[in-house]
A and B are shown apart, each in its own frame.
Chain A
Amino acid sequence: MTSLGLQADPSYGVPGKKRWAMVVDLRRCIGCMACVAACKAEYDVPLGVWRTTVRVKDTGTFPNTRRNFMPRLCNHCDNPPCVRNCPTGATYKHEEGFVLQHFERCIGCRTCIAACPYNARFMLPRNRTRVGVNSVIDKCTFCEHRVSQGLVPACVQTCIGRSRIFGDVNDPNSEVAKIVATQKTTTLKPEKGTRPQVYYIKPDRVGTEQILSAPESYAARSDAEAFYRHNNGSRFYGGTL
């Protein structure tokens, strides 16, 4: 059922194949962080690493200010550089589009982290609460274990604003396919040729600079410094202040 190999065949638009994708409607995101907490619980994600985050950014000058939210997760690229760069085949692309990890094949070399333009991958620490997988690379799985059972991913399940929409983009009758076909959507860093499968509605609100920009406020900077003092080799998502 899963294809293991260094080459990841593109599945977007391939007839008869599923290609899971997510649309994030930024008009509906209220930055509530329910997705972040739900994801942590679903997988026992340890402190200091994230499969999904929401970056917060204020812009404007009093009183004409606004707040922008930017939910992030693995883009489950149709042409994933992490898969191409994994030397052991630990990282692979599922035939339905999920980009996944074979933990037992992962040697923790971090090549995939370096290859990913989205900071979507991380090294699991030695200690976590209940799951015994440690010291290998982990990432968002689009909740493959839920999706294959007919459910939406955990972040989509709990999304209060119904901002995250999930489905098979190869099925022309699916909502995500209709949105991608008929609405103005954007993806992140398409120029990298990754063919990301997380689409954003209302790109005006994406706030491009915030996504991986250095923290600006002292509060955010000092959090980042504390993070880097404690965590070697992983990248801070930016915090909420």
Chain B
Amino acid sequence: MGHIGNIKTNRRGFLKLGATASAVGATLASTRLVAMEQELGGADFSAVTGEKRTAVPYTCMACNIEDGGVAMVENGRIVKLEGNMDHPNTRGKLCAKGNAGFLHVYDPDRIMSPLLRTGKRGEGKWKRISYDEATSLLSEKLRAVIDRSRAANDPSILNETVIKWGRNRTGGGIDRFMHALGSNAMLNHTNICESSKKVGLEPSWGPDIESCDWENTKYILNFGSNILESAYFMNPNAQRLVDGVVDNKAKIVSFDVRMSNTAGYSHEWFAPYPGTDSAIALAMAHVIMTEGLHDAEFIRDWTNVTEAQLLAHLAPFTPEFAEQESGVPAKDIRRIAREFATTKPATTFSYRGPCKHLWGAYQEAAIHMLNVITGNIEKRGGYCLPRGMGWPQPSPNPPKGPVPSIIAAPPLYPLASHHVSTNAPYMIMRGEAKVSVWMYYYDNPVYSYPSSHVWNAFLRDESLVPFSVAFSCFMSESTELADLIIPDVTYLERHDPESMPSGLFPCLSIRQPVIKPLGGTQEFRQSLIDIIHKVDPDGALGARKYFEFDSVEDWMRQHFDSIPGLKEEGGWDHMKKVGVWPTYGTVSKDNGKLIDDNGEVVVAEYGLHAAEIPAATMASAVVEPDGSITKDGATIGVQIDGKNHTGFGTPSRRIELYKESFRKYGFNPLPVYKRLPSRDKKPGEMILTTFKVNVHTQSRTASLKYLAEIYHKNPAWISPARAKALGIADGDLVRITSAVGYMVTRAHLTEGIHPEVVAISTACGHSAYGRLATLKHKEADAEWALGGDPDITNNVWWDDKGVHPNPIIRLSLDPIGGSQAWYDTVVTVSPAQPGDKYGDTKVSVEASMKDYDEALRYAYTGDLHRAAHQEVDVDWNALPRPGH
């Protein structure tokens, strides 16, 4: 259980604690106890000279939460970062990654010049060339694709120009670039992230994530998310979660196979069998509905199902059934269901734990439903819609390319709105798609993808990838395989428009060069402009007109200078000065909350779905008998008690617990639990799970010394009981074997893990990403590197860089959401064999190709899909054809 309850102290410790208080009988009051008289931030001074440091606002991109930040500059060098006090969701705070982010700028292994490969791929032999030469070379390659397409009169050839990104925060810049070239072959990384969560949510209520009102809630059910370390939106959510738990006395219950910091902070932590979250959630729904604890009115008014329908659907999902599947006691499921339904307001939050499994979208939909049936949607303290803001694109904006790209949107995954990027190399190896130019931006699949050796083999193969270009400024496992590197600058030296729904206050923010890019390096956006100008020098191709920007800053002005409200405050110039818009108030020194000029706490807006439809819009609308408001053939809202509400972003404007789009492809339209193949593993086997820690992203932060010092190795978490049975002691070398190969690492025995699970962090175990990440810090600077951190050269004291688990993780996909099923790989764990060395990894591309075939059997056209969905009312012989 968690550690907020009554815990006995052991006072025999090395350090004795003394009570220095205090008023007799004083107990911890419910006041915030966080007031301060000093200023909370916004300025900084040199500890050496006392000089005031120059403060420049920016948006963080250490990870993808996009906190507002202020960079402190001393003598032209960024020395310190802090959260932007004007950012309503960041409220002046950054996490450890955000604080360390400026180290990217001064990474001694930062690539300082475009590089052209001179040896074999991956051999590490490079020739420095200029940005002009580099963009010219790439332009020739891109132009050749267009010319070939035109000569053959085959527009599908345009899709041979491919770009793949891990993080694309260009605010439409890459889409503009690719569409100007006529290509739709843009691959994101979302299916290795949380895409099945998004696909569980979008058809349900519109947007792809929830925004919990943590600080005002009374009850939090956390399914497999590590809010206090890594999940969206860690810093803003963590701040408010602590406010909710400590100040508002909210209870938090976590379900996670591993004791994360969040599970460890929770009042109750349960470790379910991996992939059984939906059994638990459905059983809770079962209890809530059968005991009449649900919000009947909300279900009637705001969903597309009836109470009777739900009761019938939930009948088999009893707490006893859930206990049998998950191992979580039925009595606890009942108790927590009752607590959740009767404690108002309440909210769930879920992230990758439930959804990164085969059929992960069902799990998310089941969890989402708990909030719906209890009427906690869009309530103060409840489960709210995300709040983001957009910005206009400069005109003209290019239309999409003429032909859909099958690697960008694989047709066998029609519901996977965030696509299936893992499949690209397999599809190309199988000859289903062709590549001429492969570009990658903020992307490191050779490290961060499942069965990462497949990407290594793919990107090395010149017959599959004739020409590859990396835009990274770090020599990652993927960058080192490129033919040409056109380095971008770091996020502190670059322009981007930003908006993230990281709290209940929607806002825009920006990135701008805090300092002039180091050493004449050039930002990506400028390279895109240059490339298009070279591909289409006279505008005859029709591409150049989309890139007629005088400068990158001119591009930004076109985003920000015409936004109503912001325009009056100065548009882009205002953004450069403040970094964020709008500001809702200032952070109170008394309570840490946002307050207005009168000192009143700024209250967020709730009930977005209940916004009223303007009378003018209603003029020619029709109200159907069920309350649906229709106009011109579409539903535009819902009428309840005579009021006309805009509703949710679904076709019916209601929350669609019943998803017709799922049924159409033979998936269950209502949230269900499906027993996973990994649930039926053999008794001696274990399930491999991975996780992020609070100081690292997936792949980009092992090079940051402050973070690497805190966390630099990733031994395999195993429960002591299980380890004993396996003959493994703490620190022993172990061999972990999956169907595609094995790895040799060390065991870390901990009570904080399900006995059937072995867990390894993905933060460590680099074979590239610079000398610090690979512990080659004593080696001399590469010719292209920035060089020069004597602290790293001399003071690194740790000697273990970890072992990366991704090679042995099998490709496996949720056929609904298209997500990689990260947490389904069945492994055996055994003491290392004679000759095994720490870090040994042996894996097979051929075995991984078999996993691809296996994954397709679960796709909607596959035999295993049909076998697992006999209950679905669909004509199996008349499923839609792929791509139609």
Contact = CB atoms under 8 A, between A and B. Distances in A.
Interface in A190-238: 190-191, 199-213, 217-219, 221-223, 226-227, 229-231
B804 to A, nearest CB: 16
A128 interface: yes
Interface in A69-125: 125
B791 A46 contact: yes
Nearest to B81: A41
Given A186-B17, A191-B18, A208-B10, A31 B261 contact: yes
Nearest to A56: B261
Chain A: interface residue count, which band?
Answer: 35 or more
Contacts of B269: 63, 65
Contacts of A65: 1, 259, 264, 269, 751-752
Contacts of B731: 217-219, 221-222
A160 B235 contact: yes
B430 interface: no
A46 B242 CA distance: 31
Contacts of B867: none
Contacts of B33: 23, 25, 165, 175, 179, 183, 201
A115 B51 CA distance: 33
Contacts of A67: 3, 259, 261, 264-265, 752
Nearest to A68: B3
A126 B791 contact: no
B229 interface: yes
B83 to A, nearest CB: 7
A211 B730 CA distance: 22
Nearest to B8: A204
A18 B45 CA distance: 21
Given A65-B259, A213-B14, A227-B798, A158 B752 contact: no
B218 to A, nearest CB: 17
Given A174-B37, A227-B798, A241-B748, A219 B715 contact: yes
Given A65-B259, A165-B35, A185-B20, A130 B40 contact: no
A223 B242 CA distance: 31
Nearest to B719: A62
B129 to A, nearest CB: 30
A157 B82 contact: yes
Interface in B13-53: 13-23, 26-29, 32-41, 43-48, 50
Interface in A156-197: 156-163, 165-168, 171, 174-175, 179-191
Nearest to B43: A151
Contact of B794 (A30, A125, A166, A201): A125
B751 A62 contact: yes
A33 interface: yes
Contact of A44 (B18, B79, B235): B79
A44 to B, nearest CB: 7
A6 interface: no
Interface in B262-276: 264-265, 269-271
B686 to A, nearest CB: 15
Given A47-B796, A161-B238, A183 B228 contact: no
A185 B21 contact: yes
Interface in B718-770: 719, 721, 730-731, 746-755
Nearest to B755: A62
Interface string A128-152: 1111010000000101011101111
A158 B265 contact: no
B797 A36 contact: no
Contact of B27 (A146, A184, A240): A184
Given A189-B15, A219-B748, A160 B22 contact: no
A168 B26 CA distance: 21
A92 to B, nearest CB: 17
Contacts of A152: 36, 38-41
A185 B46 CA distance: 33
B37 A223 contact: no
Contacts of B296: none
B79 A206 contact: no
A36 B28 contact: no
A145 B45 CA distance: 7
Given A158-B99, A219-B713, A219-B748, A180 B20 contact: yes
A129 to B, nearest CB: 5
B789 interface: yes
Contacts of A25: 33-34, 246
Contacts of A191: 16, 18
A7 B102 CA distance: 41
Nearest to B793: A127
Given A30-B261, A33-B710, A157 B50 contact: no
B2 A211 contact: no
A47 B795 contact: yes
Smallest CB-CB A-B distances: 8 pairs: A218-B731, A208-B13, A67-B264, A66-B3, A190-B18, A37-B99, A230-B797, A127-B790
Given A125-B794, A175-B33, A226-B800, 18 more contacts: A27-B245, A31-B228, A46-B795, A58-B264, A65-B259, A65-B269, A133-B48, A151-B38, A151-B41, A157-B41, A167-B36, A181-B23, A185-B22, A186-B19, A190-B17, A209-B14, A219-B746, A223-B800
Interface of B: 1-4, 6-23, 26-29, 32-41, 43-48, 50, 77, 79-83, 92-100, 102, 106, 228-229, 235, 238-239, 242-243, 245-246, 259, 261, 264-265, 269-271, 592, 694-695, 705-707, 709-711, 713, 715, 719, 721, 730-731, 746-755, 789-800
10 contacts: A28-B242, A31-B261, A41-B706, A44-B79, A63-B270, A65-B264, A146-B45, A151-B45, A158-B94, A208-B14
